[in-house]
Structure 1
């Protein structure tokens, strides 16, 4: 019985290692030439509110998705898993910029990614 448990633990460890070390795309699928911004956050998060205000001040068009909605959280977590990002704990907002996911980005970094993405 101990060998069986030990074998299962080893297999689980190898499976998790493959998930972390296996191939990852650095960019989510999107249509080049059609820039977009999606802000994932919650209304009660000051950082999310600040990001939305700064983007509006810059005249940037963006979509806002509330992670308190289960379907939105699932969508975000799927995208994060594709890129090998931790979904157990992360800071808000998470901003999707032309296929890149940025976790609580500074505005300058976000704008740099937005302008330099194909």
Structure 2
């Protein structure tokens, strides 16, 4: 009986400790949400390198994934493109995920692509 009571008490203490970790988890989730700009690119792509430089120059916080070496992020990018209805035949790196909206490089107007990034983040 004594063991039963002690295990019950420890179970209650454990539940209390678990419930106290939820605010910490929500803080971690909020910090992930604040990073709104994800750039999928390649370190061998001059447009990708120029985009990273441009964003750093503008002091914009972003996450960069090299899809040539990070296959998990490459798959993530492909799934996002498919969900957005963008044909995989027409993709042009870099692809920027801005709050769930995809912006793809337009090779014919790269400066316009960079301006669109700035406009969409305001």
**How far does residue 98 in structure 1 lie from its aligned partner after superposition?**
1.4
Q: RMSD over aligned Cα, in angstroms? A: 1.8
Task: Identify unmatched segments of 5+ residues in structure 1.
Answer: 1-30
4+ long deviations beyond 4 Å: none
| Other-structure match for 1:95 | 96
Q: The residue matched to 1:84 in structure 2 has which SS?
A: coil
| Other-structure match for 1:10 | none
1:80 aligns with 2:81: yes
Question: TM (normalized to structure 1)?
Answer: 0.65
**How far does residue 77 in structure 1 lie from its aligned partner after superposition?**
0.5
Greater relative CO, 1 or 2 (CA 8 Å, sep 6+): 1
Q: The residue matched to 1:88 in structure 2 has which SS?
A: helix
How many residue pairs get matched?
84
Q: Which has the higher helix share?
A: 2
Task: Identify unmatched segments of 5+ residues in structure 2.
Answer: 1-29, 107-112
Identify if the C-alpha distance between structure 1 residues 43 and 35 changes in structure 2 by more than 3 Å, giving closer, same or farther: closer
